[in-house]
Chains A and B, each alone.
Chain A
Amino acid sequence: MSFINYVINGLSLGSIYAIIALGYTMVYGIARMLNFAHGDVIMVGAFTVFFGVSMQGLNPIAAVFVSIAICITLGVTIEFIAYRPLRGAASSLVVLITAIGVSYFLQNLALLIFGANTKSFTSMVPINPVRLAGGEIVISGETIMTILSCIIIMISLTAFIKKTKPGQAMLAVSEDKGAAQLMGINVNGTISLTFAIGSGLAAIAGILLCSAYPSLSPYTGSMPGIKAFIAAVFGGIGSIPGALIGGILLGVIEILGRAYISSQLADVIVFMVLIIVLLVKPTGLLGRKLQEKV
């Protein structure tokens, strides 16, 4: 029975990774860049809720919306100030290094404002745990909320991209920026929208993460951020279903590794799986083949 419990916990952690991985994968797919500051947007989202609820006495639901709004603003601002001027830069390395810089900037800014000590986060999820099989399987409210959110986000995001004008513009830009521009599509606006969606999802992921693992510090976002990046690469970066599959697999592998092999080695196992997958299938599980230009 404990195995089932572990798998459920893995699904829950994996759902969080998947939601974060969406931000990486969409930005990569559309702007062709790795936004390493994405993990720190998660932290900002969680801090916003923490301060909104415990300091300002905000209603938790209102706090969640404020947090999403702040993260969207932050994401779009980062793109506008730090990444947009570098678009078309000679080397994609320039943007990558800038993203790492933005990540450190956010972490240290949070250190300055919030201090280094870890805060204990109160769960935002008002659902009671569910016990199954005579109490042997326990599903926490956070788990239910997380998995539900992940499913809803995946379905609505897919519908948004497949069925709406801005979504189609995103697909067009991701395939051929130049041609999209020549069809009159606002490429900068589309990239901003991508950052907005990714950052809004990061806020949700941050709140879910801190509800399930209730400690919050300026470095909270960095490890889940990296893991989610791995999940995105694992599933095939640029692919939305890939982010889901990569995230879920990574979460389950991590929790099972922690339970059955060694809790110290859990991260090692995660990274090893990544290396093996990339050796066998360099584009990730659902990644598309790189086209060879002749």
Chain B
Amino acid sequence: MTQDMTPLLNVTNLSISFGGLRAVDDFDITVKKGQLYGLIGPNGAGKTTVFNLLTGVYRPDVGKIFLEDENITNMKTMDINKAGVGRTFQNIRLFKKLTVLDNVKVGLHNRFHYSTLEGIFRLPRYRSIEKIMNEEAYKLLKVFDLENEADYLAGNLPYGKQRKLEIARTLATNPKLLLLDEPAAGMNPNETKDLMKTIRFVRDEFDMTILLIEHDMKLVAGICEELTVLNFGKVLMSGETNAVLNDSRVITAYLGED
């Protein structure tokens, strides 16, 4: 695995309050290129809020978010996606009434363009671009072993495949950084094992940098190289996975004090 030292994601002093509640307080994180990085913490610690800040769903009160050299702090969600941040959701948010293929094609929208009029009148550019989009989408589906279900409605896929499709759809947007929000939520141990393989595969195959939120400690310990622990909106500690998981402060945060 190749890891150079350029930070891909660099977040400093990130904070946001909802009413009187400081949901995220002075959050820092540095994720290097090619890393598999975990963001963990007890329920309500503010992990998903961090993801929402990173993707522009919320605007931070203070703090800076850099993707490589680009300041993406106050950019619009769709522009942050264009800049190279893709994400999945805790509760799967596929377009359930679109086919599996079309879900991936929606992810490709940013990269391929033709005008509405060309679409209405089916001009040559419409045809050629749709053809390329279909090919690209099939390539991704093949990688995730979904090509036989291309014409199914996404909502009809089994759960584990929906998770995979969500990752495929996000990869279609061509991200540099992939944010996975509790990818193993609701999975049985076998599906989780399969998912771990998929995540590693995505990192190696697509040269991806991955930041993931997860509660399943087996998965975290199994694939993450570094961790940041969030507790009550604050960073409790960051570091190499084993060191973090064995730290008494982290264990206390999860299990409470004796």
Using a CB–CB cutoff of 8 Å, the interface residues on chain A facing chain B are: 156, 160, 163-169, 171-172, 175-176, 178-187, 193
Contacts and interface: CB of A to CB of B under 8 A. Distances in A.
Contacts, number: 81
B143 interface: no
B110 interface: yes
Interface string B86-104: 1101000111111000100
Contact of B106 (A160, A185, A193): A185
B106 A166 contact: no
A175 B96 CA distance: 8
A64 to B, nearest CB: 17
Interface in B124-149: 126, 129-130, 133
B115 to A, nearest CB: 9
A183 B116 CA distance: 19
B120 A169 contact: no
B81 interface: yes
Given A165-B119, A171-B98, A182 B55 contact: yes
A121 to B, nearest CB: 28
B120 A160 contact: yes
A176 B57 CA distance: 14
B120 A178 contact: no
Contacts of B87: 182
B105 A184 contact: no
A167 B130 CA distance: 13
Contacts of B97: 171, 175
A233 to B, nearest CB: 20
Contacts of A175: 95-98
Contacts of A176: 93, 95
The 10 A-B pairs of least Cβ separation, nearest first, read A164-B119, A184-B81, A184-B110, A179-B93, A181-B77, A172-B106, A175-B95, A166-B116, A172-B95, A184-B78
A186 B169 CA distance: 16
Contact of B109 (A163, A178, A185): A185
A165 B95 contact: no
A184 B82 contact: yes
Contact of A156 (B57, B106, B120, B129): B120
B119 A183 contact: no
Contacts of A156: 120
Contact of A181 (B78, B86, B126): B78
Contact of A165 (B78, B82, B114): B114
A278 B57 CA distance: 37
B53 to A, nearest CB: 13
Contacts of B112: 165
Nearest to A179: B93
Q: Which of A163, A168, A179, A183 has the most CB of B within 10 A?
A: A183
Contact of A164 (B78, B98, B126): B126
B228 interface: no
A139 B119 CA distance: 35
B162 interface: no
